[in-house]
Structure 1
Amino acid sequence: MAVHGNTIDEELKAQGSGSDNKASAEHPSPQTPGPNPLADEVRAGLTQTPKRLSSRFFYDAEGSRIFQEIMHAPEYYLTRSEYEILDTHKSDLVTLFAAGGYEVDLIELGAGDGLKTKLLLEHLWENQVAFRYVPVDISEDALEGLVGTLRRQWPSMTVRPQHSDYFTALERLSGETHRHQTPTRRVVLFLGSNIGNFTRTETVTFYQNISSRLLPGDLVLTGVDLQKHPAVIHAAYNDRQGLTRAFNLNLLRRINRELDANFDLSAFGHYETYDPESGEARSYLVSEKAQQVQIRALNITVPFAYGEVIHTEISRKFTRAQIEQLATDTGFVLTDWFTDCKAYFADVVFQKQ
Structure 2
Amino acid sequence: MIETFKNEVAEGLNSTPKTLPSKYFYDKKGDALFVEIMNLPEYYLTRSELDIFKNKTQQLINAIDLKPNTYFELIELGAGDGLKTKKLLDLLDKQNFVFDYFPIDISANSLNLLEEDLASTYPNVSVKKKQGDYFEVLASLKNSNKPKVILFLGSNIGNMNDQLAKQFIHNLGKNLQHGDKLVLGVDLIKPKEIVLPAYNDNKGITAKFNLNLLNRINNELKGNFDLKQFKHQPEYNEKEGIAKSFIVSKKNQHVEIKALKKTYNFTKGEKIHTEISRKYNDSIIKNIISNTQLTIEHKIMDSKAYFADYILTRS
Work out which of the residue numbers 150, 165, 171 in structure 2 matches 1:203: 165
Task: Find the counterpart in structure 1 of residue 89 from structure 2.
Answer: 121
Which among 125, 140, 160 is matched to residue 157 of structure 1? 125
1:140 — aligned with what? 108
Per-residue CA distance 1:22-68 (angstroms, 9 max, x = gap): xxxxxxxxxxxx55322121111111111101111101111111111
Q: 1:315 aligns with which of 254, 263, 277?
A: 277
Match of 2:16 in 1: 49
Whether 1:345 aligns to 2:312 is no
Residues of 1 paired with 2:82 and 2:72: CA distance? Answer: 18
Work out whether residues 210 and 232 of structure 2, in 8 Å CA contact, stay in contact via their aligned partners in 1. Answer: yes
> 1-side partners of 2:101 and 2:166: how far apart?
26
CA contact (8 A) 2:142 2:176 kept: yes
Q: How does 1:1-353 map to 2 (within 5 A)?
A: 36-95=3-62, 96-99=64-67, 101-175=69-143, 177-178=144-145, 184-353=146-315
Deviations 1:145-190 (A, max 9, x none): 1111111223342111111100000000001x22xxxxx3200000
Tell me, in whole angstroms, the C-alpha distance in 2 between the residues paired with 1:43 and 1:88.
45
Secondary structure, aligned partner of 1:43: helix
Once residues 186 and 264 of structure 1 are traced to their aligned partners in structure 2, the CA distance between those partners, rounded to angstroms, is 46
Q: Distance in 2 between matches of 1:216 and 1:88?
A: 29
Asked whether the 8 Å contact 2:68–2:97 carries over to 1, the reply is no
Partner letter of residue 263 of structure 1? F
Whether the aligned pair in 2 keeps the contact of 1:97 and 1:185 (CA below 8 Å) is no
Output the TM-score relative to the length of structure 1: 0.86
Q: Deviations over 1:175-234 (max 9, x none)?
A: 1x22xxxxx320000000001001111111001101111111100001110001121111
What count of residue pairs does the alignment treat as equivalent?
314
Check whether the contact 1:248–1:285 (CA below 8 A) recurs between aligned residues. yes
Unpaired runs of 5+ in structure 2? none
The alpha-carbon distance between structure 1 residues 332 and 35, as it changes in their structure 2 partners (threshold 3 A), is same
Divergent runs of 4+, >4 A:
none
Looking at structure 2, the residues matched to 36 and 189 of structure 1 have their Cα atoms a distance apart, in angstroms, of: 29
What is the deviation of 1:100? 8.5
Instruction: Give TM-score scaled by structure 2 length.
Output: 0.96
Amino acid at match of 2:96: Q
Q: Cα offset for 1:132?
A: 0.2
CA distance in 2, matches of 1:280, 1:263: 28
1:327·1:350 contact (CA, 8 Å) conserved in 2? no
Tell me how far apart the structure 2 counterparts of residues 36 and 140 of structure 1 sit (CA, whole Å).
17
Whole-Å separation in 1 of the counterparts to 2:159 and 2:240: 14
Provide the rounded CA distance (Å) in 1 between the counterparts of 2:48 and 2:182.
Answer: 19
Q: Cα offset for 1:104?
A: 1.5
Partners of 1:259 and 1:298 within 8 A in 2? yes
Percent identity, aligned pairs only, is 43
Q: d(CA) in 2 for partners of 1:93 and 1:328?
A: 23
The 2-side partners of 1:341 and 1:94 are apart by 18
